[in-house]
Structure 1
Amino acid sequence: MPSAPRENNRASSNEQAQDKKKTRSRTDSGERLKEADRPTIKAVGNHWEVHPYRGSCKPPTVMGALVREMYPDFVETENGKRPVRSWEDYKRTSTHNVLDDRGVISEFWWRFKCLPEDRADAEETLEQNFKTRVSNMLSEEKQAATKKLYASGKVPPEEVDAHDNLWPTKEALISVKPKDFTTAEGWRLLCEHWSSEAFRKMSLRGKNNRQANGDELTTGVDPGLTGAWLHTHELRPGNNDGLMCSQSASEKWVTIGFFLS
């Protein structure tokens, strides 16, 4: 029947098109900017006000890109090389005689500026933010590698742990190294770490905790109904943090017995 192959081909093309849409290109850190062109930032808690606001130049986005682009590959220890696993590890490695954490922060300030009186708070907030960014970046790299191994229903070589959990082998993870991230040695060390018994136990604990707290917000703390309502009705972009998304939402918040400070 001649129509069947055409239908299959069409379905295959549609699936490929959908997969292509789902693929998100990585955001890079952008070019260094002249001082006059750099947005001015101010730390507000663990967040940032940006003036003028630019959707393509957000401090968290730039931080995430920088820790990936400037990933130090490995740390030298008494027991040999191990992968860089945290922001603290960036403080233990150097490139061209410059500590890698200082290099990352220096590149950040080529893209933003702040008033002298705000600099100390900004530096403190940067330290806290970078700790999270490194952890998130490595988690995203592992997720991307695993997703690639199991794409389109494929099953890579797997191994079973003592509790009958299936994991992709270290060699399978190594085989899907990203072209634009770390060296072959750095990636191998990461894959060995991800394949260790200690990491797998930690990964399972994290997964179980997320499943157990699936109805809570990303803070890990149950905010209750009022907190959840407020969370979904606040403006987030730019320097509008804490403002309600509309006058109507503000009025409803007041009518149910709560007052905005």
Structure 2
Amino acid sequence: MNRHNNNSKANLTRESLRRRHKPFYKKKFFIISLILVIILIIGILIFWKTNTSNNDTHTTQPSHKIEKVRPKKETKSKKTTKKKPTKKQKAQKVEKEPTSKEQKSDNNTEQKKEPAKDSQQKAQTNQIKNAGTYNDLTYDTDWYTFKISNQIKLIKDANGDPALLVKYNYTNKTQNNEVPQKVQNTAIMIKQDGQQLNPTSATGDYTTIINNSNTGQVQPGKNFDGALIVKVKNTDSEITMYFKNIQTNEWLDTTQPLKLK
């Protein structure tokens, strides 16, 4: 037997002898079994934690019991009893009444009062002799004279669009300072192809005269050389100026045609 064992040991290689003499914790069987045990322990721990967490969630969920709510008793509003006014309060009311009447009378007097300028204008409208005439490039009324010059030309406005510039001489016949633009806006209308042309802004050398015409005031009995500018939609069509009757606010029958070419 010993000879057989010796012969078998002699036939083994060094690698097989090394494997045979390995300690048990370095052998494959032990390592595999250890890994399986660790995996089993981890699985048990995970299962235990999930069960405990589910139990906790079930316990923390609120109950869905239905509770009956008793209707609240309606609180009746207490009737407020009006206190009778005392003698002193009655006396105070009697004293306050004349002041309110005085205020009403003051309001009536204020409503009856009118500004001096408005009253003058009303008096002027009632005494108008020349409500509006147009002849030979001159638009004349009792309030002003608006004489159109021969300097009517096509120019470019501030936006570079075609515009019509009309120079004029304005005479103030009233007793107050007046702005020539007021006449342009209220008593003169310029149309082309049946549509009213709108004012526009000037540029270059015409800026000063247009700004002075729009903002400057003319004293009573004084003259002013001004100009108006409107935006033109068509540089070929004829333009027509209309003038108003200052008493009836209707347009005069006489108009001024303006040919652009």
- Highest CA radius of gyration, 1 or 2? 2
User: Quick check: TM above 0.5?
Assistant: no
Instruction: State TM-score, norm by structure 1.
Output: 0.20
- Of structures 1 and 2, the one scoring higher in RCO (CA 8 A, sep 6+) is 1
Instruction: Determine which structure has the larger strand proportion and give its number.
Output: 2
Instruction: Determine which structure has the larger helix proportion and give its number.
Output: 1
Instruction: State TM-score, norm by structure 2.
Output: 0.20
